[in-house]
Amino acid sequence: MQFMLLFSRQGKLRLQKWYVPLSDREKKKITRELVQTVLARKPKMCSFLEWRDLKIVYKRYASLYFCCAIEDQDNELITLEIIHRYVELLDKYFGSVCELDIIFNFEKAYFILDEFLLGGEAQETSKKNVLKAIEQADLLQENLDFQMRLFAGRQRSRDATQRAGGNRPDINTVHSIIIIHVPHTHILHLPAAVRSR
Amino acid sequence: MYFYNVNELYRAMSPSVPLQEMIRAIRSARTQCEERGVIQRECAAIRAQFRQADNGGRSHNLAKLLYVHMLGYPAHFGQMECVRMIASPRYSEKRVGYLGAMMLLDEKQDASLLITNSIKNDLSHSNQYVQSLALCTLACMGSAEMCRDLAPEIDRLLRASNSYIKKKAALCAVHIVRKVHDLGELFVPAARSLLAEKNHGVLHGAVVLIIELCERNPETLERFRKTVPDLVQIMKGLVLSGYSPEHDVAGISDPFLQVRILRLLRILGRNNEGASDAMNDLLAQVATNTDSTKTVGNAVLYETVLTVLDIKSESGLRVLAVNILGRFLLNNDRNIRYIAMTSLQKIVGTDHNAVQRHRGTIVDCLKDQDASVKRRALELSLALVSASNIRSMMKELLLFLSSCPAELKAHAASGIFNAAERYAPSQRWHIDTILHVLTTAGGDVRDETVPNLIQLITNASELHCYTVHKLYRALLTDISQQSLVQVACWCIGEYGDLLLRGECQETEAVQVTEDDVLDALETVLQSHMSSPATRGFALTATMKLSTRITDNVDRIRSIVSIYGSCIDVELQQRAVEYNALFKKYDHMRAAVLERMPVIEKNSSGHTNGETTGEAIKDIQPAKVKQGELLLPPQPANQVCDLLDLLGGSDETLQPSPAVGAPVPGLLINTASIAGGDLLDLLGVLEPAPLAPVLTAPTVPVYEKDGVTLTLSCEKQSDTGLTVTLTASNSTESDISSFTLQAAVPKSVQLHMKAPSGDSLPARGTAKVTQMVVLNNPNKVSLKMRVRISYTSQGSAFQDTVQIDSFPGLDAAGQ
């Protein structure tokens, strides 16, 4: 893959990932032209088009266009699957993802993409593994790793006493530990739904 | 885990409040100007923050800057901050720093070199997620230098690390190989061993790497061919295994890996019987067992088909593959149809009959709404046209032409012309087809269509009546298509008498009066839609009609004289000449405006002398035709005595692609010399014919292997000619038994005198001359074929050379 672009129906760029070295001006030019070309296409048309000397594969999900530029020898149909897999990952991560999620958390969208594709090729074909990796990285970012290891020790001993029909780990307990030990002065905004469980 | 799913963790994480507030502020700006204001303020704040010492919010600031960059505003002042963040020990800062590097830095920026060291350190970090950041960035924007620097590190990671890192290292190696081809050698051993891994991510990365290595280096490809059995095993495992929740996509187990392996098999099996055999069964299995109801199954089938068609597969498998493509053609999904046609295009040359079976469906796709599908269908349809289906295919293609999108019209028109030329069942059909194209897409055809069509028309002499009637009718309907109008004008000028006669076998007769015809031509002349070239055609046609009509010659005279003062120089010149033809050369007018002879197909300005390989006997009839073409029709020849004086300059006598030009061309030569007075003409042209008579130049006619033959000739009488051939030898060894034999056209008499000798000493110390006396009583165009035979260094040589032009004689052999 040479590049991937995400843009809205009004032509606003939401994500751009370039795997080939191009100057800023060239990137802008390509983006502008390609966005115009794709937006001009009618709804029922083919997902593939030839543009300059590249093959473009695009698909619209709700209000967002996902557009990839692939090389001559690449398989267009599997590229559609790659796009779909990325959307699924975003959906799993953000929970029923919508365009606003990607706007306000664009850096997360990039992190997810970087766990799925590397250098323009798919690096992990299992959805579960990609999500697990993101989760671990996020935990690392929040510096919760240390806390988790602490909790894991306590949980293992609790599990040993509670067998079949054992309760799920008490979420509130987990959160309470975090609140106490968090070194940074962030205040966790906990969604009400989670807290009440 | 500790949270039920990654989404819960995401929602539990601390959002970047500063970033989200800024995004909200930007989005609420109502105008572009307001937005710019917000962004300027934010950027100023960010710049100030960058300058300060380390605070907790660095990652948020950089993230803000990256957002601003994505909106299209300049963000280069963040580059150094990226470099600093990457070097930070905090993971959150590294993460954003590397993201910034991938977005703001590329290999063309100097700052990108500064992160090489950080990447190097992070590649050996104890935490795999930090390693992962470094690998990702290197694979995304690593320059050739960085790649060279870090390649050994990557190789190390390829061998000794966990699966998570191995899979990333493999793709990083792919990037390195793409940037620095020589480094491929380094990764070959590691790539080989990775094929034994079980982890799908690692396998996938390994296969991608091997594909890259094999495509770049044929030797590496040879070495990896031994892995074909292993690859077949892996594929079999994927295809036949039961449901595996981790990798399943709509019933296919890990389609991404399957597609990759199929591609590698394609590369390894290409041009190799052994490898192709080894994978035959597997490909058959995949082709038959893969579920094709969803896109993902079709993706695998597509890759399989590509592989089957590219390797040396057995015929049964090939048929299977083409049938799959045929099924794709009938699929409801437009994407699949498009893919099918793309693949069929690749094999239409080799498996023509197989593709022909699906011609009907392909032709239907011409009517598809989608432009990409239309284009593919057009190309395939043109490739499938053959002698047996030409009529039905042309019907479809012409229908397509009338409704196809503008960008395809030119391609379609030229494709139709080519097909018509190759497979036209009859001349009338051919002419009809071309006329149809000109009517529908006249603006998009190439320039040589007009002369080509005219040449075609002159050749179809029995259809002149039909053609001119049809063209006249077309002219009445529409005069906007220039090519059509030009051809119509030319035909009306040429065959106007047939038009006026009124009867025609092939089409219903229309009563056309002379006034009608002249009206039509005048409309073209006066219309603002006509191009200057078209106007020229119309004027010449009007002029030609003066010899073909009886009543309205005065009208023509007046039209012509009006245009004598036209602003367009070309038209003015023509009008003036035609005027002269009316006034001073009226006796010549009939002859000059006679019917044109049949135009030869390859007469595009060069001598019709390409008769090599023909027997001498054949030269005779060909020359007769050539004589016809070279000189205007006989009556004109007699009348235009001046033309003989022009005999020295052959160019004006040969037919040229601009039809209609030869006759006026001659006039231009005569009339353009101030006023066109006969005496002046003679005065100007006198010197020219003298020149050829004075000397008898020598020209080389043969030069090969050191043997040179030159020729000179001398006119002895009206029909007699002496030709002297001189041979010399520039090689280091002597030549013996040197003989020359000559042959000439039938009516020419030949007498060979005795040669001066038969040996040619080395290094051109002596020459051999041979005199040949020719008598050309019928004054045919002279040609001579000379056979040279000699012995050199013990072996015999023989060669033949044809001499078409003799120095000092014109092309007519006079």
- Closest to A118 (Cβ–Cβ): which among B106, B171, B247? B171
Distance CA B698, CA B724 (A): 9
Question: pLDDT over 70 for what percent of chain B?
Answer: 85
Q: How far is B36 from chain A (nearest CA, A)?
A: 16
Cβ pair A92:B303 closer than 8 A: no
Q: Pick from A15, A41, A112, A141 the residue to mutate for testing the B interface (most B CBs within 10 Å).
A: A141
Contact A81 B249 (CB under 8 A): yes
Contact (CB<8Å) A128/B246: yes
Q: What would the mean pLDDT of B442-461 be, rounded to a whole number?
A: 80
Name the band, by pLDDT with cuts 50, 70 and 90, for residue A151: low
Q: Is B9 exposed, middle or buried (0-12, 13-18, 19+ CB in 10 A)?
A: buried
Average pLDDT over residues B754-779: 83
Residue A58, H or E segment: strand A54-61
Buried b (16+ CB within 10 A) or exposed e, B700-722: ebbeeebbbbbbbbebeeebebb
* Residue among B139, B220, B224 nearest B176 (CA): B139
Q: Give A174→chain B minimum CA distance, Å.
A: 8
A48 interaction partners in chain B (CB closer than 8 Å): 335, 338-339, 372
Residues B772 and B742 sit within 8 Å (Cβ to Cβ): yes
Q: Is the dihedral of CA B90, B95, B101, B103 positive or negative?
A: negative
pLDDT in tens, B251-283: 889 999 999 999 999 999 998 999 999 999 999
Closest alpha carbon to B113 in B105, B121, B125: B105
Nearest alpha carbon to residue B599 among B416, B413, B451, B409: B451
Distances (CA, A) of B483 to B449, B476, B533, B665: 8, 15, 10, 22
Would you place residue B680 in the very low, low, confident or very high pLDDT band (cuts 50, 70, 90)? very low
Considering only residues B611 and B309, tell me which one the structure prediction assigns the higher pLDDT: B309
Q: What is the largest CA-CA distance in chain B?
A: 116
Residue A138 in contact with partner chain B when CB distance is under 8 A = yes
Q: What local confidence, expressed as pLDDT, does residue A3 receive?
A: 96
Mean of all residue pLDDT scores within chain B: 81
**With an 8 Å Cβ cutoff, are B11 and A95 in contact?**
yes
Kindly compute the dihedral angle of the four CA atoms of residues B253, B255, B261, B265, in this order, to the nearest 10 degrees: 100
Rounded Cα gap, residues B308 and B314, in angstroms: 9
Beta bridge partners of A156: none
Give B634's pLDDT tier (boundaries 50, 70, 90): very low
Burial zone of B650 (CB within 10 Å; 0-12 exposed, 13-18 middle, 19+ buried): middle
Task: State how far the Cα of B164 lies from the Cα of A128, in Å rounded to an integer.
Answer: 13
How would residue B147 be classed by pLDDT, with cut points 50, 70 and 90? very high
In angstroms, rounded to a whole number, what is the distance separating the alpha carbons of residues B621 and B290?
67
pLDDT value of residue B509: 66
pLDDT of residue B627: 35
pLDDT, residue B626, reads: 37
Name, in order, each residue with C-beta under 8 angstroms of B477's C-beta and a sequence gap of 6 or more.
none
In this predicted structure, the answer to whether residue B467 has a pLDDT above a threshold of 70 is yes
Which candidate, B385, B391, B664, B401, places its Cα nearest to that of B543? B664
* Block residue for tokens 């002269």: B580
Cα B374 from Cα B371, distance rounded (Å): 5
Q: What is the pLDDT of residue A169?
A: 42
Alpha carbons B235 and B212: distance in angstroms, whole number:
19
Q: Looking at CA atoms only, how far is residue B210 from chain A in angstroms?
A: 13
* Owner of token pair 């590691």: B190
Q: Which position has the higher pLDDT, A103 or B458?
A: A103
Inter-CA distances, B661 with B564, B588, B636, B656, Å: 18, 17, 15, 7
Rg value, chain B, Cα = 40
Average pLDDT, chain A: 79
Question: Chain B 223-262, CB below 8 Å of chain A: which residues?
Answer: 246-247, 249, 254-257, 259
B246's tokens: 């981790």
Dist CA B41 CA B685 (whole Å):
85
Residues of A in contact with B23 (CB under 8 A): 103-104
- pLDDT at B635 (0 to 100): 40
Residue A190 has its nearest CB partner, among B12, B92, B259, at: B12
C-beta neighbour count of B246 within 10 angstroms: 12
B724-743 residues touching A, CB cutoff 8 A:
none
As a whole number of angstroms, the distance between CA B302 and CA B435 comes to 42
In whole angstroms, give the CA distance from residue B261 to residue B287: 14
Q: Are A58 and A67 in contact (CB under 8 A)?
A: yes
Contact A169 B7 (CB under 8 A): no
For residue B637, pLDDT over 80 is answered with no
* A10 burial level (CB within 10 Å; 0-12, 13-18, 19+): exposed
How confident is the model at residue A56, as a pLDDT? 95
Q: Which of B254, B253, B277, B255 is nearest to B265 (CA)?
A: B277
CB burial class (10 A; 0-12, 13-18, 19+) of residue B638? exposed
Confidence of residue B388 (pLDDT cuts 50, 70, 90): confident
Closest CA to B377 of B411, B422, B424: B411
Phi and psi at B127, nearest 5°, equal -95, 125
Q: B266 — contact with chain A (CB < 8 Å)?
A: no
User: What is the share, in percent, of chain B residues with pLDDT greater than 90?
Assistant: 28
Q: What ipTM goes with this model?
A: 0.77
Q: Do B5 and A118 touch (CB under 8 A)?
A: no
Q: What is the pLDDT of residues B56-115, one digit of tens each?
A: 778 888 999 999 999 989 888 889 899 999 998 889 889 999 999 999 988 777 777 889
Nearest by CB to residue B335, choosing from A19, A47, A142, is: A47
Q: Tokens 């235009």 — which residue? A: B640
Locate all alpha helices (DSSP H) within B366-426, ordered by sequence: 371-384, 390-403, 406-423
> In this complex, is the C-beta atom of B179 within 8 Å of any C-beta atom belonging to chain A?
no
Element housing B343 (H / E):
helix B334-347
The verdict on a CB contact (< 8 Å) between A76 and B168 is: no
Percentage, residues of chain A above pLDDT 70: 73
Is residue B34 predicted with pLDDT exceeding 80?
yes
Residue B583 pLDDT greater than 60, yes or no:
yes
Residues of chain A positioned with their CB less than 8 A from the CB of B2:
148, 151, 169, 174
Query: What is the tens place of the pLDDT at every residue in B277-291?
Result: 999 999 999 999 888
CA distance B151 to B154: 5
What is the per-residue pLDDT for B438?
84
- Confidence class of residue A182 from pLDDT cuts 50, 70 and 90? very low
- Averaged pLDDT for residues B35-50: 90
Range B35-41 average pLDDT: 92
CA dihedral sign, ordered A94, A74, A17, A19: positive
Residue B615 pLDDT > 60: no
What are B710's strand-pairing partners?
Answer: B700, B726
Length of chain B: 814
Residues of A in contact with B162 (CB under 8 A): none
What's the confidence (pLDDT) of residue A42?
87
Task: State whether residue B700 is helix, strand or coil.
Answer: strand
d(CA B241, CA B236): 8
> What pLDDT was estimated at residue B216?
92
Minimum-distance CB partner of A118 among B19, B168, B299: B168
Tens digit of each residue's pLDDT (9 = 90 or more) over B331-387: 888 899 999 998 998 888 888 888 888 888 888 888 888 888 888 899 999 989 888
Among B427, B345, B418, B331, smallest CA distance to B379 is for B345
Q: In chain A, what is the straight-line distance between the N-terminal and C-terminal CA atoms, in Å? A: 44
Identify the sign of the CA torsion A163, A164, A167, A168: positive
Put simply, whether A22 touches B (Cβ < 8 Å) is yes
Question: What's the mean pLDDT in B285-302?
Answer: 91
Residue A130 has pLDDT above 70, yes or no: yes
| CB spacing of A22 vs B296 below 8 angstroms | no
Region A79-99 average pLDDT: 94
- The mean per-residue pLDDT over the stretch B460-470 comes to 81
Residues of B in contact with A129 (CB under 8 A): 201, 246
Which pLDDT score is estimated for A88? 95
User: DSSP per residue over B565-618, as a string?
Assistant: G-SSHHHHHHHHHHHHHHHTTHHHHHHHTPPPPPPPTT-SSS-S---TTS-HHH
Q: Which residues, 6 or more positions from B372, have their beta carbon under 8 angstroms from its beta carbon? A: A45, A46, A48, A49, A50, B338
pLDDT band with cut points at 50, 70 and 90 for residue B155: very high
Tell me which of B25 and B454 has the higher pLDDT.
B25
Give the gap in angstroms from C-alpha B273 to the nearest C-alpha of chain A.
23
Predicted local distance difference test score (pLDDT) of residue B286: 93
> Per the structure block, which two tokens stand in for B108?
């063309």
